[in-house]
Structure 1
């Protein structure tokens, strides 16, 4: 599982909104160094997830409506990427001719499943609040 550029941009958008003020996409994009076309698309996904509110109109913008203590990194990854797996062989609907031929399974696939599970568990321990306001050295890999 790799944190995609989209998830990175989503984190930056949320970081820009931590003051709970209404900000337009131009402000957010300029402040967080995000291309505007991505900021619009990502903002819509976060609105649909209930993380932000988008106010339309001349005086509109975006506002954080969810407590960052309640959103984990894994939550955000899921909202942004839906099926962001460590390998394409773990994605639903992926056909692997090697696995089909091996009746006893594929040890690489099984290992990747374990890695995916551990990463999902680990990323679920980080709240966005902790990521944004605590030092990185407080997060130890277990």
Structure 2
């Protein structure tokens, strides 16, 4: 299974904000901590705001913060909402041109694998990836004071 960079960045933004629950943070701070493009993050943050995952506070001292509690952010749901195309192979697509589709057993196997992948992600929340043991290490790696 593969997730897009967009979903990866969405998860990273949520992790960063969950570590900073007491403070507002800027997109630039997140971009600097992860060493990724601010422009990429702007699109991600916009969508996460529209979907109700984060809240944007405008103004001189504004910034971003989680809009939901980490235990209310399900990883499987987030992946489904941020992945544009979960088609693992051509035969999953509506414009499938593969000539062996009518007799190919691979599609069913891959569909089962995708369901298993998503079902596993459904078992976890953002809080599950931010255990008390992991938080200090994440804060250090992201250089959050």
> Per the shorter chain, which TM-score range?
0.7 to 0.9
Count of residues in correspondence between the two structures:
132
Shift of 1:99: 4.4
Say if 1:69 and 1:128, in contact at 8 Å, map to a contact too.
Answer: yes
Structure 2 counterpart SS, 1:133: coil
Distance 1:7 1:135 in 2: 25
Say if 1:6 and 1:80, in contact at 8 Å, map to a contact too.
Answer: yes
Equivalent residue for 1:140?
none
Equivalent residue for 1:25?
27
Shift of 1:7: 1.6
Equivalent residue for 1:5?
5
Task: Point out 4+ residue stretches in structure 1 off by more than 4 angstroms.
Answer: none
Equivalent residue for 1:37?
39
Distance 2:113 2:96 in 1: 20
Say if 2:3 and 2:83, in contact at 8 Å, map to a contact too.
Answer: no
Structure 2 counterpart SS, 1:50: coil
Equivalent residue for 2:129?
131
Structure 2 counterpart SS, 1:62: strand
- 1:33-63 Cα distance to aligned partner (Å, 9 max, x none): 2210111010011111100011233332211
RMSD, aligned α-carbons: 2.2
Equivalent residue for 1:97?
98
Say if 1:29 and 1:35, in contact at 8 Å, map to a contact too.
Answer: yes
TM-score norm. by structure 2 comes to 0.78
Equivalent residue for 1:68?
70
- 1:94-129 Cα distance to aligned partner (Å, 9 max, x none): 3133245x3xx4201111111111111111112121
Say if 2:90 and 2:96, in contact at 8 Å, map to a contact too.
Answer: no
Shift of 1:135: 7.0
| One of 48, 59, 78 as aligned partner of 2:50 | 48
Say if 1:46 and 1:79, in contact at 8 Å, map to a contact too.
Answer: no
Equivalent residue for 1:139?
none
Distance 1:82 1:68, change over 3 A: farther
